[in-house]
């Protein structure tokens, strides 16, 4: 049984990013999550490959890059070169999803596909056997600190069923509004990897916050009917 906690630097203090990363690593963070936004696909503008390159120098855990951008194929090689270990793209932004998944894998990275809250699970039917992980958004992407959308748990459950039918044990990552109160909802439904921004970096003690989230997730995992797919190694 394995849960991964991926603190999102979207909520971090960028003037003290190194110390923030060190704190969450002491707390047992498994991934560092980087939300990349272009001001077009989502109404916000964040970071690019130089930040990932800087993070790679200070973190010991894999960097998980979530591309919330138009035409992600143009930028995937740059993020790979900068040190990303995992890259996810949005199904809503990619016209040739098989090609994009293949590109990420050819660069030696894990390939994920993300779905917005209103995007049907069935959208991934044709690539369910090919993805390394799936990102289920439980807020509308673009900003941190949003309220968790309760229907997210039922979508996680439906996605787990879709992946299982495809014979793919790929883990499900949940991103949006997750804290110590909402985390059980998605883990019981089948989530394996948990992205948390504000719940970690806006707390007084990010190190302890990571531990609290893991404890809550692992307790919730014992209440679901199947073993957690996937492992700790990216």
Residue 23 to residue 25: CA distance in whole angstroms: 5
Taking a C-beta distance cutoff of 8 angstroms, is the pair 221, 187 a contact?
yes
Nearest Cα to 92, choosing from 158, 141, 33, 129? Answer: 141
For the question of residue 179 being annotated catalytic, the response is no
The answer to whether the CB of 33 falls within 8 A of the CB of 24 is no
CA distance 69 to 51: 16
Alpha-carbon span 103 to 23, nearest angstrom: 33
Catalytic residue chosen out of the listed positions 30, 64, 175, 185 = 175
Angle at 197 between CA 64 and CA 174, to 5 degrees: 60
Angle in degrees, CA 43, 200, 15, rounded to 5 = 70
Please tell me whether residue 34 adopts helix, strand or coil conformation: strand
Supply the DSSP symbol for 89: E
Residue 175 and residue 193: Cα distance in Å, rounded?
9
Tokens found for residue 134? 């799936």
Is residue 71 flagged as an active site residue? no
Residue of 30, 35, 38, 132 marked catalytic: 35
Query: Are the CB atoms for 46 and 71 separated by under 8 Å?
Result: no
Active site (catalytic) residues: 35, 175
């Amino acid at each position: 049984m394995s849960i991964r906690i991926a603190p999102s630097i979207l909520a971090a203090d960028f003037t003290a990013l190194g110390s923030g990363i060190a704190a969450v690593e002491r707390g047992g963070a498994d991934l560092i999550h980087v939300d990349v936004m272009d001001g077009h696909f989502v109404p916000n503008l964040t970071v690019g490959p130089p930040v990932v390159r800087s993070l790679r120098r200070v973190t010991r855990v894999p960097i998980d890059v979530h591309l919330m951008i138009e035409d992600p194929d143009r930028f995937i090689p740059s993020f790979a070169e900068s040190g990303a270990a995992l890259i996810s793209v949005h199904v809503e932004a990619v016209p040739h999803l098989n090609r994009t998944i293949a590109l990420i894998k050819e660069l030696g990275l894990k390939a994920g596909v993300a779905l917005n809250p209103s995007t049907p699970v069935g959208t991934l039917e044709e690539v369910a056997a090919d993805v390394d992980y799936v990102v289920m958004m439980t807020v509308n992407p673009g900003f941190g600190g949003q309220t968790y959308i309760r229907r997210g748990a039922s979508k996680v459950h439906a996605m787990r069923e879709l992946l299982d039918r495809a014979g793919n044990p790929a883990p499900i990552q949940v991103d949006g509004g997750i804290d110590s109160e909402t985390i059980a909802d998605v883990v019981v439904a089948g989530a394996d990897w948990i992205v948390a921004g504000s719940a970690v970096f806006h707390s007084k003690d990010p190190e302890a916050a990571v531990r609290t989230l893991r404890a809550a997730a692992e307790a919730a995992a014992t209440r679901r009917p199947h073993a957690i797919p996937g492992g700790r190694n990216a």
